[in-house]
Structure 1
């Protein structure tokens, strides 16, 4: 049975993206005109939705958020973002996803930050749990976590119990500052499956008492790394600066067409 599909226009029909989301009745596409949108977007138990710029193939929609911990929060749904930039100017996390299918195409997550005095802070660019995540032709740049009294994990991307695909992307200059340990300034994986293809993970950094995997951190996870460059990442007072693998080391494959080099103080470390 054909359930149909709606197209909602922002701001022509709805003044904000949030207003359009609240109007969803069935799978829909929200077309957003270029501009800066100072709002948080909550997608909880909503029909499958595409949120796209009206300028196909070009960006121009910038979400800066308002007051929430995450500019975009998705739970129990399916969300496809196309041509969207999320820049909270250091105020909040860009995206959180729980039990969700989340896809990004031609998006930018830049200048987002998580900070506080909690024992553990996670995911400044994306924080994902029990979700399927696909990121294509996108940039996750300059996201940071500041945890002066605790641990920090996942500067650009934090995934637990997820299936993750990253293709044609750049994860660059993401940082973790922590009073205790820091793991995965670029990518942090726990009990997840990753396919990283034709991507660059560069110039990410850990600043902490101890650090592991400034570029990519895998714990009890499976990963295929192909056609990619992992370089220029640094783990001050740490190890496995380019790639750190803990547990299930036989499930992580670095293909010959992937470059892992010029990371400080070392390139990769596998530990059972």
Structure 2
């Protein structure tokens, strides 16, 4: 067992998510929330909306394991763009596989892109990863590993990454034993004291968690999007407290977060989706589709 694997397991074991949620303020709820981009109104993206609809459950009942990127929208790797985008990840549902091994198998899966292998399981995955628009939850083909490794397609919300960018190819996620295949990035604030977090933000001197809380002190960031935000305030017992201490964060971090917020707003405006007062039709459809 590598030292890195041991450190990551210690990091996960030290995350007391329930205690954090029991002390949740309105500002911190805004940090946990995700706003579905305007392109998610198409039902062909139902897997991503299902992820958002299950966020409350994942926060309250999910398990933390490490995941590794197989493939991600190239925009996520750059600070020249602020769109949140889909990605393909691999993880061990039991959390017992090292990052090195997950990385090795992730590269093997990615190498199937634009290929047509003879093995039927590999062929199915190759078609999926080449397509880039399909959403798939599946066990990693047995020809690659006998371990209980799975892949799934998920939506990555940039404010939940330490620096808003996929600077490192692995991170902790929340998964559910009762809703298999649904996963979300564990918001970086919950692993802020780890070496992994510090390594991440060292790439570009940006800290999304602190930037979010600093902006929340003066603005209700998602006030216009409360019909869209997941999870909702009704999902938690919020404390009536404000974050009082001065938050040290670079102007670069705040500017990048503001660009992320503006990107969401511009997408709704361009697609003529109301952001105030009117209930969004596409979320009504999704709620009925998934039994909400």
Same fold (TM over 0.5): no
Give 1 or 2: higher helix fraction. Answer: 2
- Which of structures 1 and 2 has the larger relative contact order (alpha carbons within 8 angstroms, sep 6+)? 2
TM-score, length-scaled by structure 1: 0.23
Give 1 or 2: higher strand fraction. Answer: 1
TM-score, length-scaled by structure 2: 0.22
